[in-house]
Structures are given as C-alpha cells and as structure tokens.
C-alpha cells in the first residue's frame, strides 16, 4: 500500500514539474500591465455610399425659334423673373408680313374664282335637268366648281401658315421661371433649319433643385428611393445640404470599362444658395440606425499578447486548467505526455470556440473586458450594422461598459490588432 501511494504521489509531482518546466520559457519579468479601453455608447450608426453629381433645376426649358430672321428686340436679360406667355424677344416681321399679305391676296383670288364657278355650275345644272345641254358641259361645270373650292381651301391653309409664322416672330416664355441663359443680342440673325437654335434657357423654380449623381455598379444595389442624403458644394464648404433619393435610373453608363448608374436626388433650396451647374459631393445613407449601442471597431480587432495569456494560464490552478483548456487545445511547449495527464475540459459557458474569426459574420464575436482582478477576460457579443469604424452591439454589452482596445506592459507596446479580430487564433 505504501508503494502505491508513493507511486501515485510521484506521478502528480512529475506532472507538476512538467507543467512548471513547460510554462517557464514564457515567464519573464514585465512591468505593470495596463489596458486602454473604450466605452460602449448610444448613438446613430450608418453605412454610406458616396457619389458626385451636378445640380440642376427640376424643370429647365430651352426656348428657340421656328422662323428665321433678324432679332429686332431683346426684352429680358439674365436672371430676370418671367411669367408664362411673357414676350422675351421680337424677330423682324417685314418678310413674313409680306408673305402674309401675298397669301391673303391668293385667298381673295380663290374666293372670287369659286364664286364665279359656283354661279356657272348652278346655271348649267338647271339647263341640264331640263335636258337643254349635253352631259359633257354639265360635267365640266361641276369639275370647275369643285376645283375652285379646293383652291380656296389651299389658299386659306397657306394664309393660316403664314399667319402662324408671323406670330412666331414674337418669342414668348412657355413657363413661369427665371432666365438662366440668353444666347442672342439685338440685330443678330437666327436661322431655323433642322436644328432649332436656342435663344433662352428658362428654369421654373430655383427653390427646388435636383442633383444627378453617378453611382458605381458595386454600390447601386444598396441605393433605394427615399433614402436620406447629405451633400456639400465647393461654394459653401462648411455647410451640409439635405436631399432624398428620388429616382434610381436603370440605364447604365460605361466609361473606360467602369459601369455607373444615374441616381437623382431631390434637394430643397429655400435660400436659393444652390445654383445650377454646381458640383455636389453626396453621401447616401443606405443603412442607418438611431439610439443603438455602438462600439469602436478597434475592440473587435484587438487580440491580447500571446506571452501575457501564457503567463495568466501558468498562474491558474490545475483544476482551473482542466476546466479552462478547450478540447484538443495545447499550450505551446507542453509535451504530449503532460497533456495526456490533463483531461480535456470545455471553455467557459457562452464563449465561442478558439479559432473562430470575428470577420466571419456568423455566430457571436469576441471582445475583451477587464475581469476586476487586474486582468482581462473574453466576452462574446452579437453585432449588427458595421460601417468599418464602429459596430452596432445587439447583445453581450451594456451602455458604459469598458472594452479593451490595447495593452501595454510598461516596457513595450504589446497591443495586437489583427484582421482576424479577437476571435482569431489564440496562443495555443
């Protein structure tokens, strides 16, 4: 019996010595370990899409001319406020007035001819009914009468056309608005050919503007009508203007193999500070949540120093070691024989398995918080919106909680921020 006790005691001593030897290479003198933390706060978090575009009026009309001639008078100037049907300019009417008089004379002539042919037809018709003239004479009279009626219609049509052209010499505003551009001067000759020349550009309402932006194909799927937008212009670099996505156009535009889509933004302009043609830099809020828990993304990218974690494990009792080391995990440097003496345990309740990546987007993610004893401990959390800088906390933390983002042993920086995040490979 004494031999069995001695043998059992010897095994325990050997295992203890193996553990001490195994952890000894990681035990080194360090200064006092300090941790830099950040607090969980409440606020608004959002994902955005950026775009640039040009500010335009909602309705813009180019006023041209349908007749050729010399500009006689220009009655409005740049920035003038005009009403619908207000006269903007006059084209010299001399030539068109002469054409109208000529067409009027043609109408009078056709009317006289019709009167004569109608009287002749009526007279011959009476004689024909009494069988006093031949059929051919009656047919000729009927033909002359119908031909005279058609000639009168043709003459009147020409007169009406010349009258309309004469009226076109008076250029009127088609809408209420503001004269944005005036492209003519008095005495200038304009020629109406296949392309109608633009004389004026009139915008109807400068208190409501439109921004036509270009959004890359990689982001267009996130943009929807009704989303909130903020934009700036160079003229007022310290101001932000509000807008709303009013239309997402389906037609693509390809420039140098880059595909973009036009997105229209509706922007109120009560102070008329925004002017047509300005370049706008827009921020479209494609995802936005208010009054939620927010944590700095640095906390998710923080991983404690491997040496520190090894030292903390070396300080743990054998029982806590058995309960704290996950199945299949092995501290660096511990021989296989020593690990065989330690039955596999499980991670603390709720903690994700070692090796889980915070960037996987599946399951809980890991951050580190102070344990109240001068050390730190992992804390699983669930996240929501992630904008690359901050992340929304769904569960696992409360407002005001302090989360570790870096650590320092007083002699050197031991902060680790990995792209794998705090759920990346642990030092085992």
What phi and psi, each to the nearest 5 degrees, are found at residue 32?
-70, 125
pLDDT score, position 194:
67
| Residue found under tokens 């006023």 | 63
- Most distant CA pair in the chain: distance in Å? 165
231-265 pLDDT tens trace:
999 999 899 999 999 999 999 999 999 999 999 99
Q: Where is pLDDT greater, at 193 or 292?
A: 292
Report CA Rg, the chain: 45
Tell me if 263 sits within 8 A of 282, measured CB to CB: no
**C-alpha to C-alpha distance for 211 and 278, rounded to whole angstroms:** 9
Label residue 381 by pLDDT band (50, 70, 90). very high
Which of the four pLDDT bands, split at 50, 70 and 90, describes residue 142?
Answer: very high
Domains of the chain: 25-45+295-408 (no CATH), 48-58+203-288 (2.40.30.170), 65-91+169-201 (2.40.50.100), 93-167 (1.10.287.470)
Question: Is a pLDDT exceeding 80 seen at residue 374?
Answer: no
Q: What's the mean pLDDT in 11-19?
A: 39
**What's the count of helices (H) and strands (E) in the chain, helices before strands?**
7, 19
- pLDDT above 60: residue 2: no
User: What residue has token string 């009655």?
Assistant: 75
Residue 306's H or E segment, with its range, is helix 306-314
Pairing verdict, β 402-408 and 365-370: unpaired
CA 146 to the chain's CA centroid: 67
Q: Kindly state the tokens that stand for 252.
A: 């693509």
Q: Please tell me which residue, 20 or 156, carries the higher pLDDT value.
A: 156
Q: Two tokens at 95?
A: 């030539």
Instruction: At 297, give phi and psi (nearest 5°).
Output: -65, -15
Q: Is a pLDDT exceeding 70 seen at residue 29? A: no
* Cα 122 to Cα 263: distance, rounded to the nearest angstrom: 72
Q: Please say if the pLDDT value at position 53 is more than 50.
A: yes
pLDDT in tens, 343-370: 333 344 444 444 344 554 556 788 998 8
Helix (H) or strand (E) holding 228: strand 228-233
**Of 387 and 318, more confident:** 387
> Tell me, what's the pLDDT at 348?
44
Cβ 179 vs Cβ 57: under 8 Å: no
333 phi-psi bin (left φ>0, alpha ψ -120 to 50, beta other): left
- pLDDT value of position 219: 94
CA atoms within 13 A on the CB side of 3: 0
Percent above pLDDT 70 for the chain = 76
Q: Are 322 and 340 in contact (CB under 8 A)?
A: no
Residue whose pair of structure tokens reads 């009914």 in the numeric block: 129
Band of residue 197 on the pLDDT scale cut at 50, 70, 90:
confident
pLDDT for res 424:
41
Q: What is residue 9's predicted lDDT score, i.e. its pLDDT?
A: 44
Closest listed residue to residue 213, CA positions, set 269, 270, 266, 285 = 266
Counting every residue, how long is the chain?
Answer: 428
Check whether 274 has a pLDDT greater than 80: yes
């Amino acid at each position: 019996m004494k031999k069995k006790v001695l043998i059992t005691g010897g095994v325990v001593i050997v295992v203890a010595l193996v553990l001490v030897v195994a952890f000894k290479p990681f035990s080194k003198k360090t200064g006092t370990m300090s941790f830099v933390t950040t607090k969980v706060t409440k606020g608004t978090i959002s994902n955005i899409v950026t775009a640039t575009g040009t500010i335009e009026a909602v309705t813009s009309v180019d006023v041209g001319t349908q007749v050729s001639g010399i500009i006689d008078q220009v009655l409005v100037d740049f920035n003038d406020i005009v009403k619908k049907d207000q006269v903007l300019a006059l084209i010299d009417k001399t030539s068109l007035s002469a054409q109208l008089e000529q067409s009027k004379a043609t109408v009078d002539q056709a009317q006289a001819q019709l009167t004569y042919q109608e009287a002749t037809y009526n007279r011959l018709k009476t004689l024909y009914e009494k069988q006093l003239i031949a059929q051919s004479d009656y047919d000729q009279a009927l033909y002359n009468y119908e031909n005279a009626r058609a000639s009168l219609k043709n003459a009147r049509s020409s007169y009406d056309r010349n009258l309309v052209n004469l009226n076109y010499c008076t250029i009127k505003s088609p809408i209420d608005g503001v004269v944005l551009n005036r492209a003519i001067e008095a005495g200038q000759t304009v020629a109406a050919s296949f392309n109608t020349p633009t004389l004026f550009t009139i915008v109807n309402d400068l208190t409501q503007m439109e921004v036509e932006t270009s959004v890359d194909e990689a982001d267009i799927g996130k943009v929807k009508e009704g989303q909130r937008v903020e934009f700036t212009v160079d003229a007022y670099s310290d101001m932000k203007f509000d807008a709303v996505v009013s239309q997402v156009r389906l037609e693509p535009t390809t420039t140098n193999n880059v595909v973009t889509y036009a997105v229209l933004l509706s922007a109120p302009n009560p102070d008329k500070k925004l002017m047509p043609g300005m370049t706008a830099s827009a921020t479209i809020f494609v995802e936005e949540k208010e009054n939620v828990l927010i944590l700095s993304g640095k906390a998710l990218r923080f991983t404690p120093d491997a040496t520190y974690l090894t030292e903390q494990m070396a300080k743990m009792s054998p029982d806590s070691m058995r309960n704290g080391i996950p199945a299949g995990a092995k501290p660096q440097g511990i021989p296989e024989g020593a690990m065989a003496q330690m039955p596999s345990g499980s991670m603390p309740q709720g903690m994700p398995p070692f090796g889980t990546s915070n960037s996987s987007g599946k399951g809980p993610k890991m951050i580190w918080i102070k344990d109240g004893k001068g050390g730190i401990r992992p804390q699983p959390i669930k996240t929501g919106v992630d904008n690359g800088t901050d992340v929304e906390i769904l569960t696992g933390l409360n407002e005001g909680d302090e989360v570790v983002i870096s650590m320092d042993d007083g002699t050197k920086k031991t902060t680790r921020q990995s792209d794998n995040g705090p759920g990346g490979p642990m030092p085992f």
